[in-house]
Structure 1
Amino acid sequence: MSRTVSPQSPSPEPAYERWAYSFHLPHSPRSVRVARLALRAVLDGHGMTELADTAVLLTSEMVTNSYRYAPDGPTRVRVRGLAESRLRVSVWDSNPVIPTPFDQPPSSCAHGTVAARAAEAATEETHGRGLLLVQLCADDWGGYAYGQHPSGTGSTGKFLWYELAHRCGPYGIAA
């Protein structure tokens, strides 16, 4: 019997590969370096090297905060390709406190507020600029509580996340 194969209708999904990676990191200062190396390897492997420097910087800041402010547990990093040129990185830790302004949607934070925080951070302080870097460099960012059960059972904590997108130059599409 002979079979005929007809062309399939175009898929509504874009023709990019969907992917996600998770890293479970122990509570150790070395985990920050491991997260940077693993993230760079993932982005290089998926052809997203143009986002690597910014993503590594922002992830390093978020994992460092996790190490500093959630001393009783590990850190988890999740990296996902959202679109052909868009990336989301989420960092989970066991501390349920979502730092300001990650407890609000990015659209609710006026650019002037971020600029004012940047000016304030330009003082002689040696810490406290990590999440400000995320706000200034990411295309989108936020945070949400995880697993807070009224009964007190189950794991708790928070996710802080950011997204980056590759931007073509004015002639990038025509090239």
Structure 2
Amino acid sequence: MPENEPWDYTLYIPNDPRAVTVCRGTLRVILTLHGLTGLMETAELLATELVSNAVRHTKGPAALRVRRSPEGLVWIGAWDTDPAPPEPPVPLEQALEREEGRGLGLVMACAEYWGWQPSARFGDRGKYVWCELEVA
């Protein structure tokens, strides 16, 4: 596959905190196979925050989706069954002082772009919370 060719992976996971570790490992493999190890640390941090929120704050299944756009952005999204928007992120300076609720602040600080959008999987309404990283 050419270096800048778009690709798209989705890993469906149960509502189980251990699935976050599976997602991290899967993300590492995907980025390594596509020669994007320079994104590894940031991508792992952001995927962990997004998937952890999906598992922690909902009761249904979840999914990690990772794709590369034709423009060269790596998109990381976590799908969950709750259609409600995520809580607004706390600015990073405040987030670092908190015990909980700092995940989206980290995403906002580390990603080029982030957001959320309604979606449906498994026949349930839900949402994707996503971020994008530029490939150096």
Alignment TM-score, normalising by the size of structure 1? 0.70
Is 2:90 aligned against 1:121?
Answer: no
**How many angstroms does 1:118 deviate by?**
2.1
Given candidates 16, 23, 35, the residue that maps to 1:47 is: 35
Runs of 4 or more off by more than 6 Å in structure 1? none
- The number of equivalent residue pairs is 133
Is 2:130 aligned against 1:130?
Answer: no
Maintained 8 Å contact 1:48/1:85: no
Which structure 2 residues correspond to residues 80-99 of structure 1 after superposition, within 5 A?
A: 80-83=67-70, 85-99=72-86
Query: Looking at CA atoms only, which structure, 1 or 2, has the larger radius of gyration?
Result: 1
**How many angstroms does 1:15 deviate by?**
7.3
- SS of the equivalent of 1:156 reads strand
Q: Comparing both structures, which one devotes a greater share of its residues to strand? A: 2
**How many angstroms does 1:101 deviate by?**
3.3
Question: Which whole-Å CA distance do the structure 2 matches of 1:56 and 1:84 have between them?
Answer: 21
Seen in structure 2, the aligned counterparts of structure 1 residues 83 and 155 have a Cα distance that, compared at 3 Å, is same
Question: Which whole-Å CA distance do the structure 1 matches of 2:105 and 2:30 have between them?
Answer: 25
Question: Which whole-Å CA distance do the structure 2 matches of 1:166 and 1:99 have between them?
Answer: 26
For structure 2, the residue ranges without an aligned partner over 5 or more in a row are: none
**How many angstroms does 1:68 deviate by?**
0.9
Question: Which whole-Å CA distance do the structure 1 matches of 2:133 and 2:12 have between them?
Answer: 22
**How many angstroms does 1:77 deviate by?**
1.1
Alignment TM-score, normalising by the size of structure 2? 0.88
Aligned-residue RMSD, C-alpha = 2.0
For structure 1, the residue ranges without an aligned partner over 5 or more in a row are: 1-13, 103-113, 148-153, 168-175
- SS of the equivalent of 1:126 reads coil
Question: Which whole-Å CA distance do the structure 2 matches of 1:15 and 1:66 have between them?
Answer: 31
Question: Which whole-Å CA distance do the structure 1 matches of 2:77 and 2:104 have between them?
Answer: 13
Is 2:7 aligned against 1:19?
Answer: yes
What letter is aligned with 1:82?
S
1:139 aligns with 112
Using the TM superposition, name which of 125-134 and 78-87 deviates more: 78-87
